[in-house]
Amino acid sequence: MRRPRLSFAGSKATLLLLVVAAGISFGITSCSKDDDTKQNSGVTQEQAASVVSQTVINQGGIVEQVNQTTVLVAAMEARQAGGKLSDFCGKQTDGSISHDGTANGVTFNYKLSWLYSLACTSDVPTLFTFNFKGNTMFETDKFKTTDSSTASYKLGGLSSNSTAWELSQTFDRAGKFVSKTTDLPSFTSAVHYESVNIKVSKETHEIVSGSATVKITGADSKGNVFKYEGTITFQGNKKAVFTVSGGSNFQLSW
C-alpha cells in the first residue's frame, strides 16, 4: 500500500508571507497601547510580535504544520489505494525537504524534516503524533534572519463522528535577527508556544478556535534582555489575535 507523504513544497509566495519589513511583519497589525518597552530595552513589543507572527505563519510554521498534519490524516482516512486508516496503526514514517532561492529581493533557504505515527487501541485509531524540526533563513537588503525550530503535535478527534480534529502542540523556535540598518536593533530570540485546545475543521483543514500561550525571550546586540508573554486566540477565517500580557493586541492573518 502506498503511504501518503507530507509535502511542504509551497510556492515562493508562501515563503514571503511573513518577511519582516522595517521591523514589522506583513500579516500583522497592532492595536497598540503604549509601545514603551520599559524593562525590555531595545526590542519593542511590535518587533517581538513580528517574531511570534513568523512562528505562526512562516514556511514550516505552526499554521502550515497544522494544515499538512490534517491533510495527511485526511489522506489516510480517505482509504487510499483500497486501504483504511487502521492500516497505519503502530507504523512510523519520516521524511525531509530542503529548498533555496531568491524571489522579490528576498533570499531564502529552508530545511525541514518530520516523523509521524498513528496509535491505535484494538485497531481503532486514537491518536496521531507528528514531530518536526527545521531550519530557515531569510535575507533582504535590510536584514537577515536565521532560525531553528522543533515541534510536537498530538491530533485526536479521529472518529468519523467528529466534525473537528482536536490538537495539542508545543513549538520551540530560536533565531537571530541581524539588522543592516541603523533604525532597527539586531537581536536573538527564543519562542515557546503551547496549546491544548485547538480545533481544526475536517472540512476546510483550517483552525477554527482555540488558544495558545506564548513566551518570547532574548537580547539585543547591546546585551539588553527582553521578555514578553501573551496569548494567541484563534478566531477562524485565517485570523488570530496575539495579546501581550499587560500590553498590546496584534492581529495575525495568513
Specify the pLDDT at position 30: 52
Specify the pLDDT at position 55: 75
Specify the pLDDT at position 50: 80
Specify the pLDDT at position 36: 43
Specify the pLDDT at position 207: 93
Q: Which of 202, 102, 119, 184 minimizes the C-alpha distance to 154?
A: 119
Q: Which of 186, 185, 147, 116 minimizes the C-alpha distance to 52?
A: 147
Specify the pLDDT at position 159: 84
Residues paired with 236 in a beta bridge: 239
Question: Strand locations in 40-163, DSSP E?
Answer: 92-103, 106-121, 124-139, 143-156
Specify the pLDDT at position 27: 40
Specify the pLDDT at position 217: 93
For 141, residues 6+ apart whose C-beta sits below 8 A from its C-beta are 105, 180
Instruction: For residues 139 and 58, give the distance between their C-alpha atoms in angstroms, rounded to a whole number.
Output: 14
Low-confidence ranges of the chain (pLDDT < 50): 1-28, 34-38, 40
Q: Can you read off the three cell numbers belonging to residue 252? A: 495575525
